[in-house]
């Protein structure tokens, strides 16, 4: 395995993904990780990530410099390079010319990191500091127009440092460089596959759970479905899934999911029809946070009541992913306040005195999809766009009523049909409609109308932390708008949301 030290770069998850794409397992830890823990993990190599700080600043993040005495190969990237240079006796200072964006790299010293790479290639820079003096034993290995030491190395000790970011796609030969570090320098083996993961995880779950019972909240999303499959594989009928239909799902969604789960997954599932309870609790509530809190509470009550019927359950399984774990404890990057209030069963383990099983906690979304596919989950489920726990309630701005739910469901169904037909469903992180609490004047036939407005939201994203509004073709937007206005009663205007996250969020509430 490879250990990645998180100095707060927005790209550290990308480093991990690149390493795993090479078939090598890795984890991300904060710089405060104790040396004993590193020895215990016994990584084949360590990657020091970039970060927003400058090493010469007073409170810049540092790790124990003893990391360089472990005899383990180290690759420093950007801030990670500066930390390495500084800790080993070099000097880093502000550079007269900041460098952001593309640059041409010229390799001056071949070494294992650059094996089979062209002398010149495009790299992506983002820094305002430079190496003034190299530490003893180091030599410069590459430069760009503005940066004399764009790469440095001490091959005898297996220390390498890059000023640019090999993990981003803009660095054309970045992946081969990381590949070289893993296989030429660290001697890693390509043994991180979803098959190996499944084998190991199933064994671990079986050992941990023993003969006890496990409960899982099935939402129909890919994460909870894959979690259910893994646990089912490990402990079979000791797993009971609970599917709560909160009445806030998309058109025909509950029925479709029931069919898939029952027919194809052969899981032990309890369906709870609680739509009325949710709607009643939401009567006359328009404040987004109140809606979320109410939905969260009703969900917990309903879930707990159902779970209590399963006597002797000791475990609660959740489909928490690695980004959630990193976000909630990141030392310098994501502040801890980002812990999502989304986790609908977040408070349950404590309340019900259940122990957590989170078999996906070291996986990224793309890995979960791969795993689901490999375990035989239908393409439809594997590629489902995320759908928020509070459902359509947070896509109906203002009061949630049966009538407004019906309008939004119809709009949403048309939208998804068109998005799918145009081949955009998988390319988009999410695509959905929002029903606004506004009416506008229109004309239909010869009559005046005064009806609802819906907004279409379509975004691209890797992990929902940031997102871009999707540049959907005008003819597709036109068709969507036409069909919605013609086919859905009560809507006479469609608008397209062209805001990115940040500063907007993906959902409107």
Residues near ligand XMP (CB under 6 A): 292, 342, 386, 388-390, 430, 464, 501, 505-507
CA nearest to 215, candidates 262, 270, 256, 263? 270
CA distances from 320 to 295, 361, 428 (A): 20, 5, 22
What is the tally of helices (H) and strands (E) in the chain? 15, 18
Q: Are 63 and 33 in contact (CB under 8 A)?
A: yes
Closer by beta carbon to ligand XMP, 186 or else 467:
467
* Interatomic CA distance for residues 186 and 384, integer angstroms: 37
Least Å from the CB of residue 355 to ligand XMP: 22
241 is catalytic: no
Tell me which long-range contacts 482-485 makes (C-beta under 8 A, separation of at least 24).
Answer: 483/414, 483/418, 484/411, 484/414, 484/415, 484/433, 484/454, 485/442
Q: Which is nearer to ligand XMP, 183 or 432 (CB)?
A: 432
For ligand XMP, the closer CB: 256 or 342: 342
Task: Give the span between the Cα atoms of 74 and 154, in whole angstroms.
Answer: 10
Rounded CA separation 106/164 (Å): 12
Q: Please give the order of strands across the beta sheet that includes 120-133.
A: 26-29, 2-5, 45-48, 74-77, 159-162, 151-154, 139-143, 91-107, 120-133
Q: Are strands 239-245 and 213-217 parallel, antiparallel or unpaired?
A: parallel
**Residue 198 or residue 430: which is nearer to ligand XMP going by CB?**
430
Report the distance separating Cα 135 and Cα 139, nearest Å: 8
The nearer residue to ligand XMP, 462 or 479, going by C-beta atoms, is 462
Beta carbon of residue 464, minimum distance to ligand XMP (angstroms, whole number): 4
* Residue whose token pair is 């009703």: 298
Smallest distance from the beta carbon of 92 to ligand XMP, in angstroms? 36
**Out of 22, 26, 78, 188, which one is annotated catalytic?**
78
- Give 31 or 220: the residue with its C-beta nearer to ligand XMP: 220
Host H or E run for residue 154: strand 151-154
Q: Alpha-carbon distance 412 to 435, whole Å? A: 10
Active site residue 167: yes
CB closer to ligand XMP out of 64 and 507: 507
Secondary structure (3-state) at 498: coil
- Nearest distance in Å: CB 93, ligand XMP: 39
From 167, 306, 327, 418, active-site residue = 167
Residue 355 pairs in a beta bridge with 315
Task: Give the shortest CB-253-to-ligand XMP separation in angstroms.
Answer: 14
Residue matched to tokens 């805001």: 499
Residue 492 tokens read as 């006479």
Least distance (Å) between residue 295 CB and ligand XMP: 8
Q: How far is the CB of 394 from ligand XMP (least distance, A)?
A: 7
CB 313 within 8 A of CB 214: yes
Q: Which residue has the tokens 């707060």?
A: 8
Please indicate whether residue 165 is annotated as part of the active site: yes
User: Strand 151-154 to strand 159-162: parallel, antiparallel, or no bridges (unpaired)?
Assistant: antiparallel
Choose the catalytic residue: 22, 29, 143, 165.
Answer: 165
CB of 362 to ligand XMP, least distance (A): 20
In terms of CB distance, is 464 or 480 closer to ligand XMP?
Answer: 464
Q: Which residues are catalytic?
A: 78, 165, 167
């Amino acid at each position: 395995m490879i250990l990645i030290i998180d100095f707060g770069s927005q790209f550290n998850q990308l480093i991990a993904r690149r390493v795993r794409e090479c078939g090598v397992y890795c984890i991300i830890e904060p710089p405060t990780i104790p040396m004993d823990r590193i020895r215990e993990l016994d990584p084949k190599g360590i990657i020091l990530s970039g970060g927003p700080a400058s090493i010469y600043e007073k409170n810049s993040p540092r790790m124990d410099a003893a990391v360089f005495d472990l005899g383990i190969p180290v690759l420093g990237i950007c801030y990670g390079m500066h930390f390495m240079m500084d800790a080993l006796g070099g000097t880093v200072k502000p550079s007269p010319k900041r460098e952001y964006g593309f640059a041409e790299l010229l390799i001056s010293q071949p070494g294992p990191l650059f094996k089979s790479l062209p002398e010149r290639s495009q790299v992506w820079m983002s820094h305002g500091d430079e190496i003034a003096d190299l530490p003893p034993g180091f030599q410069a290995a590459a430069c760009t127009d503005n940066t004399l030491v764009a790469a440095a190395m001490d091959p005898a000790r297996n220390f390498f440092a890059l000023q640019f970011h090999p993990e981003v796609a803009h660095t054309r030969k970045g992946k081969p460089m990381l590949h070289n570090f893993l296989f030429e320098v660290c001697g890693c083996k390509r043994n991180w596959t979803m098959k190996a993961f499944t084998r190991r995880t199933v064994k671990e779950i079986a050992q941990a759970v023993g003969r006890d019972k496990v409960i899982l909240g099935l939402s129909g999303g890919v994460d909870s479905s894959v979690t259910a499959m893994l646990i089912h594989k490990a402990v079979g009928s000791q797993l009971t899934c609970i599917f709560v239909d909160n009445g806030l799902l998309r058109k025909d969604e509950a029925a479709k999911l029931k069919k898939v789960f029952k027919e194809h997954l052969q899981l032990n599932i309890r369906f709870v029809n609680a739509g009325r309870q949710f709607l009643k609790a939401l009567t006359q509530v328009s404040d987004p946070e109140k809606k979320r809190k109410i939905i969260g509470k009703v969900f917990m009550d309903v879930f707990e009541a159902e779970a209590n019927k399963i006597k002797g359950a000791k475990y609660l399984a959740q489909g928490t992913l690695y980004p959630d774990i990193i976000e909630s404890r990141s030392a310098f990057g994501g502040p801890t306040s980002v812990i999502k209030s989304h986790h609908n069963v977040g408070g349950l383990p404590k309340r019900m005195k259940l122990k957590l099983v989170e078999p996906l906690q070291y996986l990224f979304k793309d890995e979960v999809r791969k795993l689901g596919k490999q375990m035989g989950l239908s393409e439809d489920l594997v590629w489902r766009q995320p759908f928020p726990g509070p459902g359509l309630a947070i896509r109906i701005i203002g009061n949630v009523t049966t009538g407004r739910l019906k309008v939004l469901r119809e709009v949403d169904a048309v939208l998804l049909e068109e998005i799918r037909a145009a081949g955009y469903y998988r390319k988009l992180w999410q695509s959905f409609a929002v029903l606004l609490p506004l009416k506008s004047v229109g004309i239909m036939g010869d009559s005046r109308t005064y009806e609802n407005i819906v907004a279409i939201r379509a975004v691209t994203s890797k992990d929902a932390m940031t997102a871009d509004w999707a540049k959907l073709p005008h003819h597709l937007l036109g068709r969507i708008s036409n069909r919605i206005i013609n086919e859905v009663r009560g809507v006479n205007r469609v608008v397209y949301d062209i805001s990115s996250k940040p500063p907007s969020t993906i959902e409107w509430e």
